[in-house]
């Protein structure tokens, strides 16, 4: 039986609202136009008395409440009524703080407030109270893929929090690259000497921990499900397999080293005494406390040259376009090996741009100088093999050609992420419209690495990648948050980093994985809408199986059933609404956010007739950057045109073209869409939502032509949360545009 709805409105008169607005009129608007069955005023609605008044009404049966007060981003703790459907009208930041206090502005300011109350009433009428789906149970088991420093750290952190952990490691031992290291970059003051790696102790701690299960010689054959119910098939080299379920997954597959063999100037393949920095680690460890000896003849090394930045930070084909960042710290550490083990060994670090990031930084560099490590600014042009190696270089201080002879040369090679194939490249093959396009897409995958996670997802088998192959995580807003909910990336697969940074990264990923498992157990969303119980549903009878929702979802949350209908995995869903914006037939909705909750707000704005000469401008503002920027504009007294009506949306990707066409048909004179930055340095909280919206809105010109309207009437902008002056200006600019081109011919 459908829930009987009881509507109640509340109007705050505090914070200057009562002085600037006729709140009695607002109450009448809420009852008459908004159809609220009751409406009360309070001098400070967020106070304990005001909150208790609302709670008492809820206890007496109110199911849908409208609060007209401050911004929905303010006082969220006070107005935390999870047992009802709720909307909020922004009268403080959105009206009185963006309008000058003068008699001539009083009428238009009141009109703004009246509209916002109508809009909030209309919104809540088309809401339902969100409830969890009931499909999840709390699963306190974490899967860690990769048994290096990052994976072991994540496992230990999660187990310390009371979670069971399974580590899946492809090789026959834990430790990863670091298992072969002699020592590590120091992590403690005074940062003067290399320190023990701690790898052996970590392995011992894991072996002694009854909460941690280790699968060696193992890989993931298939990963299905969603946060709280990941079903994973773990396969071994011997051909056996087992199935396990997990609440969340941490991918910690680390890095591979760049192979300098193709760089002929270094002659890496032509002499055993020309080593990579990792090969030197093995050599130092094998020395077992004695002097380091040359691989070619066992001679004790008396002189060594470290060649920095090999194949890195380069525009040359086949080389790395980025710098790994920590290579110079590694060279300093390794130079100290020779000072410790090989007595008076000459050690020279040849660099073109010395970088010592992080805590050790300058202190470690100074310690190297004090130990008589030579730092020489030079660009190596050739390493000549022979009984004694000759290093030719351009001296960048003297601007002259120079050379030196040494027993050993160590090449600083960069870190490359150990990740799977790009799922969007895989998707391109499937979505290609003809065979030629398919072949082009297949060519991009020809040299792709094997899959690591083997996800059974509509959008590919692995985590999406950045342009250099590193796993994409939302580095600005939410580190570790990949585009696959409940699967968290950590360590050098995210970016080059040292052991300490990797361990810290692992701790962060473990925390996020635990949070994802806990949220899934409650039916709640992960970031950025953490705690949201709503999830998408669709009317199957109206679905055209166009696949746009399954392809455009930024998080791979939607699979397809055997009949090609969408299958929503609510615990994968981030509640951005991009699927809703993508749907051409308007059949996708959330309990508290839908085509109607926004569409009815648009319809319930009072659009004056043409002779009144009062335009209306619709502003659809992303709740993550644009709407906060407008709130801060209000706090700073930045004026916004009185013709604007702002509606916050979850993401610009959720904007339906129907809202644009409906508002234009209803007589709105201009529309401004404000979303987050897109592109490689995106700031969109939902990753691709803003980009999808820009792509869709690029076609709105055709709609405007059909309606015989000017293209200037609809504008889409990228806005940052810091655009406190710019965001209002974009709205005010639209008001100026409308003034120049005239009111809409669709006025009633």
Q: Cβ distance 232 to 246 under 8 Å? A: yes
Residue at 623 is within a domain: yes
> Is the same domain home to 97 and 152?
no
Cα dihedral sign for 705, 711, 714, 715? positive
Tell whether 577 is covered by a domain: no
Q: Is residue 736 part of a domain?
A: yes
CATH number at residue 325: 3.50.50.60
Same domain, 623 and 698: yes
Q: Do residue 370 and residue 402 come from a single domain?
A: yes
Residues 83 and 147 in one domain: no
Sorted by sequence, the CB contacts under 8 Å of residue 19 that are 6+ apart come out as none
Are residues 215 and 83 both part of a single domain? no
> Do 640 and 705 share a domain, yes or no?
yes
So what's the pLDDT on residue 746?
85
The three-state secondary structure class of 301 is coil
3-state secondary structure of 6: coil
The answer on 240 and 270 residing in a single domain is no
Does 314 share its domain with 232? no
Q: Are residues 398 and 271 in the same domain?
A: yes
Show the tokens assigned to 93: 């930041």
Helices 361-370/327-341 angle, 10° precision: 30
Kindly state the DSSP code that residue 414 receives in the 8-state scheme: P
Residue 683 has a pLDDT of 87
Q: Give the pLDDT confidence score for residue 679 in this predicted structure.
A: 83
The 3 state secondary structure assigned to 595-651 is: HHHHHHHHHCCCCCCHHHCCCCEEEEEECCCHHHHHHHHHHCCCCCCCCEEEEEECC
237 located within any domain: yes
Number of domains the chain is built from: 4
Domain match, 221 and 289 both:
no
Same-domain check for residues 295 and 396: yes
pTM for the model stands at 0.92
pLDDT of residue 748: 53
Which residue pairs from 103-112 have beta carbons closer than 8 angstroms and sit at least 24 positions apart in sequence?
105/642, 108/614, 108/642, 108/643, 109/20, 109/21, 109/642, 110/21, 110/22, 110/25, 111/606, 111/614, 111/642, 112/642, 112/645
Domain assignment of residue 558, yes or no:
no
Record the tokens describing residue 585, joined without a space.
């037939």
Q: Which of 129, 152, 179 is the last residue of a domain?
A: 129
Mean pLDDT, contiguous 10-residue spans, the chain (748 residues): 83 96 97 96 97 97 97 95 95 97 94 98 94 83 98 98 98 97 95 96 98 98 95 96 97 97 96 97 95 96 97 94 94 97 95 91 95 96 96 95 97 96 85 78 83 94 92 75 93 95 96 95 88 90 91 91 89 94 94 96 91 90 96 96 97 94 93 92 88 88 84 94 96 96 84
SS3 386: coil
pLDDT score, position 1: 44
Residue 225 is encoded by which pair of tokens? 């499900």
Judge whether 590 lies within some domain. no
Expressed as residue numbers, the domain containing 357 is 263-417
Is 491 found in the same domain as 508? Answer: yes
Cβ count within 10 A of residue 611:
8
Q: Considering the domain boundaries, does residue 162 fall inside one?
A: yes
Q: Is residue 552 part of a domain?
A: no
CATH number, domain with residue 663: 3.40.50
């Amino acid at each position: 039986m459908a829930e009987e709805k009881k509507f109640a409105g509340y109007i705050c008169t505090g914070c200057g609202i009562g002085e600037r607005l006729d709140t009695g009129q607002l109450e009448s608007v809420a009852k008459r136009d908004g159809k609220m069955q009751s409406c009360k005023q309070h001098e400070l609605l967020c106070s304990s008395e005001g909150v208790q008044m609302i709670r008492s009404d809820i206890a007496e049966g109110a199911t849908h409440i409208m609060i007209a007060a401050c911004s929905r981003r303010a006082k969220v703790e006070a107005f935390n009524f999870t047992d009802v459907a709720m909307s909020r009208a922004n009268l403080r930041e959105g009206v009185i703080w963006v309008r000058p206090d003068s008699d001539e502005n009083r009428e238009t300011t009141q009109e703004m407030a009246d509209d916002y109350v109508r809009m909030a009433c209309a919104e809540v009428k088309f809401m339902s109270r969100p409830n969890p789906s009931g499909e999840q149970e709390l699963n306190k088991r974490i899967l860690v893929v990769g048994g290096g420093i990052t994976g072991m750290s994540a496992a230990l952190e999660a187990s310390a929090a009371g979670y069971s952990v399974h580590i899946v490691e492809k090789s026959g031992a834990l430790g990863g690259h670091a298992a072969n290291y002699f020592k590590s970059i120091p992590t403690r003051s005074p940062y003067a000497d290399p320190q023990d790696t701690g790898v052996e102790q970590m392995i011992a701690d894991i072996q002694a921990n009854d909460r941690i299960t280790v699968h060696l010689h193992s890989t993931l054959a298939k990963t299905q499900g969603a946060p709280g119910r990941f079903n994973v098939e773990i396969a071994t080299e011997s051909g056996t397999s087992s199935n396990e379920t997990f609440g969340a997954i941490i991918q910690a597959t680390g890095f591979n080293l760049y192979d300098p063999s193709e760089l002929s100037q270094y002659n890496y393949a032509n002499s055993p005494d020309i080593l990579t920095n990792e090969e030197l680690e093995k050599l130092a460890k094998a020395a077992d406390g004695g002097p380091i000896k040359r691989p070619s003849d066992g001679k004790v090394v008396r002189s060594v040259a470290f060649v920095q930045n090999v194949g890195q930070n380069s525009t040359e084909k086949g080389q790395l376009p980025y710098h790994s960042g920590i290579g110079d710290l590694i060279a300093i550490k390794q130079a100290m090996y020779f000072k410790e083990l090989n007595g008076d060994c000459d050690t020279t670090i040849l660099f073109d741009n010395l970088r010592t990031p992080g805590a050790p930084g300058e202190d470690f560099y100074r310690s190297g100088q004090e130990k008589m490590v030579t730092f020489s600014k030079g660009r190596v042009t050739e390493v000549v093999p022979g009984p004694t190696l000759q290093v030719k270089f351009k001296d960048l201080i003297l601007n002259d050609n120079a050379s030196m002879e040494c027993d050993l040369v160590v090449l600083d090679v960069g870190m490359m992420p150990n990740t799977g194939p790009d799922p969007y490249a895989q998707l391109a093959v499937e979505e290609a419209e003809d065979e030629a396009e398919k072949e082009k897409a297949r060519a991009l995958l020809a040299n792709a690495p094997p899959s690591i996670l083997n996800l059974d997802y509509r959008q590919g088998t692995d985590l999406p990648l950045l342009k250099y192959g590193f796993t994409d995580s939302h580095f600005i807003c939410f580190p570790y948050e990949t585009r696959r909910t409940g699967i968290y990336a950590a360590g050098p697969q995210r970016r080059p980093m040292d052991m300490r940074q990797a361990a810290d990264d692992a701790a962060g990923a473990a925390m996020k994985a635990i949070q994802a498992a806990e949220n899934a157990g409650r039916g709640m969303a992960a970031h950025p809408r953490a705690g949201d119980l709503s999830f998408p549903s669709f009317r199957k009878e109206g679905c055209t199986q166009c696949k746009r929702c399954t392809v455009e979802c930024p998080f791979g949350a939607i699979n397809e059933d055997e009949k090609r209908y969408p299958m929503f995995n609510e615990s994968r869903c981030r509640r951005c609404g991009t699927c809703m914006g993508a749907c051409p037939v308007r059949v996708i909705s959330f309990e508290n956010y839908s085509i109607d909750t926004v569409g009815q707000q648009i319809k319930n704005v009072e659009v004056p007739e043409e002779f009144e000469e009062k335009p209306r401008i619709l502003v659809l503002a992303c709740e993550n950057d644009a709407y906060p920027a407008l709130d801060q504009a209000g706090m700073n007294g930045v004026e916004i045109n009185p013709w604007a009506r702002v509606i916050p949306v979850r993401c610009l990707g959720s904007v339906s073209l129907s809202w644009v066409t409906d508002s234009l048909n209803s007589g709105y004179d201009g529309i401004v869409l404000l979303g987050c930055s897109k592109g490689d340095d995106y700031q969109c909280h939902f990753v691709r939502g803003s980009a999808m919206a820009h792509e869709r809105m690029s076609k709105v010109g055709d709609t405007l032509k059909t309606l015989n309207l000017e293209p200037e009437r609809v504008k889409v902008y990228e806005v940052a949360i810091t655009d406190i002056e710019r965001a209002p200006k974009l709205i005010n600019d639209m008001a100026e545009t409308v003034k120049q081109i005239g009111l809409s011919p669709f006025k009633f």
